[in-house]
C-alpha cells in the first residue's frame, strides 16, 4: 500500500484531535463491557477518519506513527475540547463542500416522497423550526371506494416524527438524522415502516443533549436474533450508550 500523503497525514491528525475526548471516554468505558468497534463510535477519531475517507478527503493509506505525530500539532487541552465541539459541524461543512451531503430540507423532502409513494392515504407534512431543524410528520386519511383520500374526514395522526438537523436532539422525536447519530433518510423511512407494522425496527442511534451542561449521550439501538430460555428464536432490542460533548465547555 502507498504511503500517506502530507494531505492525508494532516487530515488524519485533525481527526485524532477532533475525536480525542470521545476516544478517552470510550477507553474508560471498555472495562465495563462497552464493545462497539472504534470506527463505529460516533465522534471518535477512527469514526471521523473513516468519514473523511468515505468523502474522498483522504486516501486509504495509513501510517499510525506519522498520524500520531500530526495530531500533536494541537496539544492544548482547551484546543482539544474546542475541536471536539466543532467536529460534527466541520465534517458537515466539508461534506457539503464536496457534494457529499444534502441539506436538511432536501433530506426531509426525500423522506416525504418515499412516504407518499406508499399510498394516497399517507400525507406527510414538512416543518422547519427557527433553529434550522426540519421535521416530518405524517397523517393517514381514510380512502374512498375509488382509492382517493377523504380529506373531509379527520386523519389519523401516526406516532412518528422524523428530524433532520446539524446538531443532536433535545426535543422529542421518533428518529433524528444528524452528524452525531449518523442516521440516514433510509433509516428514517425504515422506522416509519416499522410504525406501520410493515417491518422490524431498524438499527439506529439516538442522541440527547442538555443545552444547560453541554453534554449528552448517544445510544446505539440494534435488533438481534437470540434464543429464549425455552430455546425459541426471539428478536430483542440491544442498546449501548456512551457520552459525548457537542458544544465547547466553558
Q: Going residue by residue through the chain, which has 250 residues, state the pLDDT in tens, using 9 for 90 and above.
A: 566 676 666 777 777 777 777 777 777 777 767 677 766 677 777 887 787 777 677 787 777 766 565 555 544 444 444 444 445 545 554 444 444 444 688 999 999 999 999 999 999 999 988 777 899 999 999 999 999 999 999 999 899 999 998 777 766 789 999 877 889 999 999 999 999 999 989 999 888 776 666 677 888 888 887 787 888 888 788 888 877 765 444 4
Residues 80 and 182 in one domain: no
Length in residues, the chain = 250
Number of domains comprising the chain:
2
Residues 104/132, Cβ–Cβ less than 8 Å:
yes
H runs (alpha helix) in the chain: 6-18, 20-29, 45-55, 64-71, 77-97, 104-116, 185-195
Residues 81 and 159 in one domain: no
Domain final position from 97, 125, 141: 97
Q: How far apart are CA 33 and CA 68, in angstroms?
A: 27
Residue 65 grid coordinates: 506513527
Domain final position from 80, 97, 114: 97
Say what the pTM is: 0.59
Closest CA to 180 of 215, 205, 163: 205
Burial-class residue 87 by CB neighbours within 10 Å (0-12, 13-18, 19+).
buried
Amino acid at each position: 500500500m502507498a504511503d500517506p500523503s502530507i494531505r492525508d497525514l494532516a487530515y488524519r491528525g485533525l481527526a485524532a484531535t477532533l475525536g480525542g475526548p470521545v476516544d478517552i471516554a470510550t477507553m474508560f468505558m471498555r472495562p465495563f463491557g462497552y464493545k462497539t468497534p472504534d470506527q463505529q463510535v460516533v465522534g471518535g477519531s477512527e469514526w471521523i477518519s473513516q468519514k473523511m475517507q468515505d468523502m474522498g478527503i483522504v486516501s486509504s493509506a495509513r501510517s499510525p506513527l506519522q498520524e500520531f505525530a500530526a495530531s500533536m500539532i494541537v496539544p492544548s487541552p482547551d484546543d482539544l475540547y474546542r475541536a471536539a465541539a466543532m467536529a460534527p459541524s466541520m465534517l458537515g461543512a466539508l461534506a457539503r463542500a464536496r457534494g457529499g451531503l444534502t441539506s436538511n430540507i432536501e433530506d426531509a423532502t426525500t423522506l416525504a416522497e418515499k412516504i407518499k409513494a406508499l399510498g394516497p392515504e399517507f400525507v406527510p407534512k414538512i416543518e422547519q423550526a427557527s433553529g434550522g431543524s426540519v421535521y416530518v410528520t405524517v397523517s393517514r386519511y381514510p380512502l374512498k371506494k375509488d382509492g382517493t383520500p377523504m380529506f373531509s374526514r379527520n386523519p389519523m395522526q401516526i406516532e412518528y416524527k422524523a428530524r433532520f438537523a446539524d446538531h443532536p436532539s433535545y426535543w422529542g422525536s421518533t428518529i433524528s438524522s444528524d452528524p452525531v447519530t449518523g442516521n440516514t433518510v433510509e433509516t428514517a423511512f425504515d422506522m416509519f415502516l416499522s410504525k406501520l407494522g410493515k417491518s422490524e425496527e431498524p438499527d439506529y442511534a439516538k442522541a440527547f443533549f442538555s443545552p444547560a451542561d453541554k453534554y449528552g449521550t448517544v445510544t446505539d439501538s440494534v435488533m438481534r436474533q437470540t434464543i429464549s430460555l425455552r430455546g425459541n428464536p426471539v428478536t430483542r432490542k440491544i442498546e449501548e450508550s456512551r457520552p459525548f460533548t457537542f458544544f465547547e465547555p466553558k
